[in-house]
Structure 1
């Protein structure tokens, strides 16, 4: 992980004028050290929860407001409610995927 952090953060160094400062800021010093690795580990641990929260928030807004209708067509007569139909379908798909991954 030391060399991975070194290589990935050094990709920012060619940015004109501020690249070296960005690398130093990400490292938290002038080289990759224990604090840098802890910072990156924390970021990798917290980021999936942030993404999950944003996906749930997006689905809630999408369910409440609905999708855009650029054609202006009334399609309410063949609309399937999201809950429980798609919720159950997605839950079954998720369980099957996790079961397959556990089996492997």
Structure 2
């Protein structure tokens, strides 16, 4: 599957048993590619996912697509998982990227004495 530059290798997984360990999550998801991070939100966090879910961040988009396709619907520790590619709010990301680039440009102007 070809990837677009705006795709992110993040899989959102729902319907996890609350007692699932990080090790069992890693063992399940690492079958599909190199994992950068697994994020399991706690109930007090501001993550956009409820308890019983996690974000699996892969190192490349192909691994994320493979994992979301293969994991969706499997029985894991007595629960049927729901997995999909996580859609990042690109509008917010674009604004944050603009601010970062603008700040970097200002820093470079000062460094090289440009006005």
TM-score by length of 1: 0.33
TM-score by length of 2: 0.30
Larger radius of gyration: 1
Q: Which structure's residues are more often strand, by fraction?
A: 2
**Larger relative contact order (CA 8 Å, sep ≥ 6):** 2
